[in-house]
Amino acid sequence: MALPYLLTAALIATPVPVLSAEPAFDVIPAPVSAVATGADFHLDRTTVIQTRTPAVGSLLAADLREATGLTIPVTPSAAPAGRKISLKITGGLGDGYRIAVDRSAVEIKASTPEGLFDGTQTLLQLRDGRAIAGGTIADRPRFTYRGSHLDLARHFHAPDEVKKYIDEIRRLKINYLHLHLSDDQGWRIQIDGWPRLTEIGGAEGTGVDGVGGGFLTKAQYTDLVDYAAARFVTIVPEIDMPGHVNAAQVAYPELTCDGVAPPPRTDTAVGYSSLCISSETTYRFVEDVIRELAAITPGPYIHIGGDEAHATPPADYVRFQDRVIPLVAKYGKTAYGWNEIAQSTAAYSSVAQYWGTTNNNPVLAGAVAHGMRVVMSPANKAYLDMKYDRNTRLGLTWAGLIEVRTAYDWDPGTHLTGVPESSVLGVEAALWSETLRSIDDIEFMAFPRLAAIAELGWSPAATHDWESFRTRLAAYGPQWTARGVDFYRSPQVSW
């Protein structure tokens, strides 16, 4: 392992001398390279954060205040006395960052505010009490897309819960949050042109088992988008179609072929509903939804679902995607969908989210040969709604039991035949909410497995090492505890 580790380090601008396979610090995701010196920096009342990127500086100050009780001023100019944490934008570091910590100063450098922010997230993990571990780190992401997903349709999760989740995922360098906003049971985002979607589809009782309900107004959605963006997380909204549309058809019977409203559904069956592919009303609806959603979504992607459309005849499915995928481009966004959309040639310029459980998907590999890009969410590895073991109180089992090591031990760059690493944008951990209600439920299923997926998305393959990961997880546990985050005490980890 030492050799590839060195090679990886040599790829960054100024190589730091390294390295053994044993990481110098307990950081998740593992950095590209790190050297510990033992010359720790101590935070005290004289410490200041000096930066011309105050947005990042104040987030760091807020985190340090919560963790240590110290109020650390953020200033653009050099402080005459006192020991400083400087956050600097410099050229040449791509989307990575550098950290140097010694007794008198902490310096984080990056070429973008996001890189700087990533560096601060690492810095926070170097802290023990008021000491920051001395040494140097050079780091950058393996993949640009590191995603997490929440299902607001099967059970609505309120904006404050989503914000708490954003706070946690960003610490693991997750930079996309995919929100599943519509399904058979409910519709969770305000669409002005079709108000009954949320009046009916977001009403009380629209969650699985008739529990819960709710939806995001556009103002709430925008507030979430802004909150996420301030932490360098991009929201990816999903409207699932042409299947998973029962809630929309309850609200608007003209979206069925016979014009008859189906009964509302709060069970967990899938694959029974379909938009009417031959009806112009369908495309008016779809275009209105995409246009309204694109207008409030600054991120590059609109996710159009496309999974499990078993009630849509195959030729109709392709006809639908051929027509809908260009609509996303028409409103300035890149279409993103579950891997079934790869059946449409229009999908070659879009992004597929692979959720299968095998290492082979010839249709997807064929689309990739034509330029389609892929986000890896294999359900038997990256579905955080699967139970950890047979006794897990929450979750499903259809894709298998997923203990922490199972979530960790795979490689997104080689997982799928015919999908080379160069076509992989990254990874995403999906968390479906059929069995989940509260933020505690979400946290218990997400952590610690999301840390495993985050590491696969960020860290070089050369750092992949289960023994190292389980050691670093054990060190991370107290941080979750301190922040009141629920997590599964996997017997595979010595907490």
Q: Given the rule CB under 6 A, which residues bind ligand TNX? A: 270, 307-308, 338, 355, 383, 385, 396, 432, 434
The total number of residues written for the chain in this structure: 495
Amino acid in the structure at residue 131 = A
SS3 label, residue 189:
strand
For 359, the 3-state DSSP assignment is: coil
Ordered alpha helix ranges (H), 375-465: 379-382, 404-408, 439-446, 449-458
* Residues contacting 192, CB < 8 A, separation 6+: 218, 292
Closest listed residue to residue 126, CA positions, set 27, 24, 21 = 27
What's the min distance (Å) between Cβ of 385 and ligand TNX? 5
The 3-state DSSP composition of the chain as helix, strand, coil percent (nearest 5) reads 35, 15, 45
Closest distance of CB 434 from ligand TNX, Å: 6
The two tokens of residue 54 are 């105050």
Cβ atoms of residues 305 and 239 within 8 Å: yes
Minimum CB distance to ligand TNX, residue 436 (Å): 11
Nearer to ligand TNX, 140 or 244 (CB): 244
Q: Closer CB to ligand TNX, residue 434 or residue 443?
A: 434
What tokens appear for 135 in the block? 């040494």
Question: Contact, 308 vs 271, CB < 8 A?
Answer: yes
| Minimum CB–partner distance for residue 354 and ligand TNX (Å) | 10
Q: Work out how close the CB of 303 gets to ligand TNX at its nearest, in angstroms, rounded to a whole number.
A: 10
Q: Which is nearer to ligand TNX, 292 or 385 (CB)?
A: 385
∠ CA 195-198-202 to the nearest 5 degrees?
165
* C-beta of residue 475 within 8 angstroms of C-beta of residue 425: no
Q: Which distant-in-sequence residues (6+ apart) come within 8 Å of 70 by Cβ?
A: 43, 44, 45, 47, 64, 130
Instruction: CB nearer to ligand TNX: give 78 or 269.
Output: 269
Order of all β-strands in the sheet with 41-42: 41-42, 131-132, 127-128
Distance from C-alpha of 187 to C-alpha of 203, rounded to nearest angstrom: 9
Give whichever of 284 and 310 is closer to ligand TNX, judged by the CB atom.
Answer: 310
Residue type, 377: S
Amino acid at 238: E
**For residue 456, with 0-12 CB atoms within 10 Å meaning exposed, 13-18 middle and 19 or more buried, which class applies?**
buried
Determine whether 287 is an active site residue: no
Closest distance of CB 185 from ligand TNX, Å: 10
Of 118 and 385, which has the nearer Cβ to ligand TNX?
385
Given the residues 107, 254, 287, 308, select the one marked as catalytic.
308
Q: Which residue has the CB atom at the shortest distance from ligand TNX?
A: 307
d(CA 237, CA 227): 15
CB-nearer residue toward ligand TNX: 434 or 455: 434
Say how far apart CA 213 and CA 198 lie, in whole Å: 10
| Nearest CB to ligand TNX, comparing residues 141 and 337 | 337
Contact in structure between 275 and 241 (CB atoms under 8 Å): yes
> Nearest 5 degrees, angle CA 456-CA 461-CA 464?
75
Residue 308 Cβ, how far from ligand TNX at the closest point, in Å? 5
Is the CB of 152 or the CB of 473 nearer to ligand TNX?
Answer: 152
| H or E element at residue 89 | strand 84-89
User: CB under 8 Å to 280, separation ≥6 — which residues?
Assistant: none
Rounded CA gap, 442 and 432, in Å?
A: 9
Shortest spacing between CB 480 and ligand TNX, in angstroms: 24
Catalytic residues: 308
